[in-house]
Amino acid sequence: MQKKFIIQRFWPEKDKIPYWQIYEIDCQEDWTVLDALEAIRAFDPTLTYRRVCRHGVCGSCAMNINGFNSLACETRIASLPKNIKIRPLPGFPIIRDLVVDLERLYQNYTVIKPYLITSSPPEKEYIQSLEERHLLDGLYECLLCGACTSACPTFWVNENFLGPGIFLQACRFILDSRDKGFNLRKEILRKSDIWRCHGILNCVEACPKGLNPFQAIMHLRKILLFGGKR
């Protein structure tokens, strides 16, 4: 299966502006975009991108494929047209080629205190009912890949906006029955720009795991307005 890959290249140390480079290669039916990038890199080792797990778990291969933020290791070549245009995640500074600087995302992650806040940890283990555990479904699966945040216009223009993925993570911790930091977490959210989300829903479309950061944002807003976790 012959495919044409049009890939954005940019090395800030030597290029003034990004440019497109074309590679035509023969792909196997069952390849993912990541397999194709590996095949290209076998003859052009200068092509730079991130990948670790190759199984949709680590989130490091998030990139923009034919206009959609996606995981390269989960996007099948067979599902794409002959021409495949790949560029780095929009909205983040480019380090090199398809690798972006996610520092802002990680800094924002620290703001929401991404760990259980407890005053007196149990001697043995936390007991969580099935119902309490199910409250985390649709939240704990987040990879922190940045695909949703990269697609969010509010994140692009508002430097205080934490981003949809980070609000989804905030929701994950505030709903955890083992966490005792409810009031502190509400204070953090009050100081955030959570009300700046305009419900454009790009984040929902972009998430490769089918999660719904907008729903998480709405849930957090409900908590801020009415109190209570549910």
Judged by CB under 6 A, does residue 143 bind ligand SF4? yes
Encoding tokens for residue 44? 């052009």
54 binds, among ligand SF4, ligand FES, none (CB under 5 to 8 A by kind): ligand FES
Rounded Cα gap, residues 117 and 38, in angstroms: 42
| Binding-residue total with ligand FES (CB under 6 A) | 12
Among 37, 33, 79, 62, which Cα is nearest to 208's?
Answer: 62
DSSP H helices, 6-101, are 33-43
Judged by CB under 6 A, does residue 165 bind ligand FES? no
Judged by CB under 6 A, does residue 220 bind ligand SF4? no
Judged by CB under 6 A, does residue 59 bind ligand FES? yes
By CB under 6 A, name the one of 1, 11, 19, 52 that touches ligand FES.
Answer: 52
Q: In terms of DSSP bridges, do strands 68-71 and 62-65 run parallel, antiparallel, or are they unpaired?
A: antiparallel
Between 36 and 75, how does the x/- string for binding to ligand SF4 read (CB under 6 A)?
-----------------------x----------------
Cβ neighbours of residue 92 closer than 8 Å, sequence gap 6 or more: 100, 101, 102, 104, 105, 146, 150
Judged by CB under 6 A, does residue 73 bind ligand FES? yes
Residues near ligand FES (CB under 6 A) are: 51-54, 56-61, 71, 73
